[in-house]
């Protein structure tokens, strides 16, 4: 699996820190994140679940799977009962867990889409945000790091090994945050970051009406409740 530090695209991951009492975690230098943060905090589901995998050619298959928030990839249980990361193979169109559908987008990766028939839809990407901390700060960790202003986001794609992550952060303590980014899905199943710019692109004929609604309702594009309110309005147009 290949580790990639995304800086120029960080603005796409503007999101809220998920409010859980154990977050943020602090991981000492040289220690694996997985040894500190519990399994059910690093995966979308508390256990592997049956999943239907749909491909762009119309074929499908079944697997036991789970979504890794740390690697931002789908993890499968192989026939040998081992776990293996599935490449972000864009022959895969979506993963359907029954009550949860995850689209495989070429640009934004795996996003969990609202499971209904109305458009535009709301989608989200939950992910783990790692902040390396320099030595010499308070208690070995920084007490002034503001995750909303840092430009370091770890995304893991490809086929390199865990050693990539370990080598990059072996000399630093790490603050581990859990975050979420929101997206919009149009009728053609295209994925866009949740913002006024893209909702106007999806519904250009209603641009002025939508703009007035956003202003009147003070819609916050970082708020899931606000986005639901906006999309309910857009779906009624």
Q: Kindly list the distances between the CA atom of residue 3 and the CA atoms of 130, 148, 154, 177, 183, in Å, as whole numbers in the listed order.
A: 12, 21, 7, 17, 23
* More confidently predicted of 230 and 18: 230
pLDDT exceeding 90 applies to what percent of the chain?
53
pLDDT digits (tens, 9 = 90+) for 69-93: 998 899 999 767 788 887 767 789 9
* More confidently predicted of 158 and 113: 113
- pTM of the complete model: 0.77
Quick check: 145 pLDDT over 80? no
Say what the pLDDT of residue 171 is. Answer: 67
Alpha carbons 26 and 2: distance in angstroms, whole number: 23
Say what the pLDDT of residue 125 is. Answer: 94
Give the residue-averaged pLDDT of 212-226: 96
Quick check: 152 pLDDT over 60? no
Give the residue-averaged pLDDT of 182-206: 96
Judging by beta carbons within 10 Å of its beta carbon (0-12, 13-18, 19+), is residue 95 exposed, middle or buried? buried
Place of tokens 């960080």: 10
Of residues 9, 58, 22, 71, the one with CA closest to residue 175: 22
145 CB-side CA count, 13 A: 22
Neighbours of 205 (CB within 10 A): 8
pLDDT band at 159 (very low <50, low <70, confident <90, very high): very low
pLDDT digits (tens, 9 = 90+) for 1-29: 333 333 233 333 333 334 445 889 988 88
Quick check: 165 pLDDT over 80? no
């Amino acid at each position: 699996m290949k580790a990639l530090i995304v800086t120029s695209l960080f603005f796409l991951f503007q999101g809220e820190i998920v409010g859980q009492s154990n977050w943020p975690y602090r991981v000492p230098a040289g220690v694996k994140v997985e040894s500190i943060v519990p399994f059910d905090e690093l995966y979308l589901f508390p256990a592997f679940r049956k999943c239907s995998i749909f491909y762009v050619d119309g074929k499908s298959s079944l697997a036991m799977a789970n979504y890794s928030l740390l690697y931002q990839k789908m993890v499968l249980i192989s026939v040998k009962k081992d776990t293996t990361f599935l490449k972000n193979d864009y022959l895969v169109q979506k993963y359907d867990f029954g009550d949860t559908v995850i689209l495989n987008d070429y640009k934004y990766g795996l996003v969990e889409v609202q499971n209904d028939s109305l458009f535009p839809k709301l989608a989200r990407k939950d992910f783990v945000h790692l902040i390396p901390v320099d030595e010499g700060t308070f208690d070995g960790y920084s007490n002034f790091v503001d995750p909303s202003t840092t430009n370091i986001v770890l995304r893991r794609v490809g086929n390199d090994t865990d050693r990539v992550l370990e080598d990059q952060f072996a000399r630093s303590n790490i603050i581990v945050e859990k975050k979420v980014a929101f997206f919009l899905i149009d009728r053609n199943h295209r994925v866009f970051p949740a913002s006024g710019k893209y909702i106007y692109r999806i519904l250009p004929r209603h641009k002025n009406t939508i703009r007035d609604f956003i202003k009147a309702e003070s819609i916050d594009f970082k708020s899931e409740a606000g986005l639901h309110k906006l999309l309910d309005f857009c779906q009624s147009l």
